[in-house]
Amino acid sequence: MEKKNYTISIYTENNIGLLSRIAAIFLKRHFNIESITASKSEVNEVMRFIIVVEITEDQVKKIIGQIEKQIEVIRAYYHTDEELIFQETALYKVNSAEFVEDLTIQDFIKETNARIVTVTPKFFVIEKTGKRYEIDDLYDKLKPYGLMQFVRSGKIAVSKNEMPISSILEDFNTININS
């Protein structure tokens, strides 16, 4: 089976140990996590993890099963890039001297729709949000000018299809109140 980038979305309770519990599931199977982000979700008091891995579909199905088995995981989903709207964000710290001297840098910024976040006498910080190849492209262009620092976020994504967490939680409440 072919390996692909799968984006796993995990809705969970907010629990201190859960990140290592989820990470351990990947570790046990020797799967390398490409990126991971955690944030609040659209539902109050529910966290959302987004984990990107390059594995086969069979493997991703099995790992979803293992993740959903964890007590504080409400639901987990997996998607391919085609099923998602997704972005990454990167910050580039560039030496001010280079920036002022060489106007081509300014052209890159305009061309790539990047944004200047901070300007100081010593450095500029440029922010670029977009697809991975766009971020990599700007990286390649800025690299020759001496990147002082570079960092890229994990993938953030929303799915085209619904992930009905609220109704799952409502179902639980209904059952529990009736019983």
Contact positions vs another protein (CB under 8 A): 12-13, 16-17, 20-21, 24, 27-28, 61-62, 65-66, 68-69, 71-74, 169, 172-173, 175-176, 179
For another protein, give the closer residue by CB, 21 or 93: 21
The least distance separating another protein from the CB of residue 43, rounded to whole angstroms, comes to 11
- The Cα–Cα gap between 127 and 112 comes to 10
- The Cα–Cα gap between 113 and 92 comes to 14
The least distance separating another protein from the CB of residue 17, rounded to whole angstroms, comes to 6
For another protein, give the closer residue by CB, 78 or 124: 78
For another protein, give the closer residue by CB, 62 or 93: 62
Using left for φ > 0, alpha for ψ between -120 and 50, and beta otherwise, residue 46 falls in beta
Q: CB atoms < 10 A from the CB of 42, how many? A: 11
At 173, list the tokens: 């409440």
The least distance separating another protein from the CB of residue 24, rounded to whole angstroms, comes to 4
At 146, list the tokens: 């001496």
Contact 25, 68 (CB under 8 A): no
For another protein, give the closer residue by CB, 120 or 176: 176
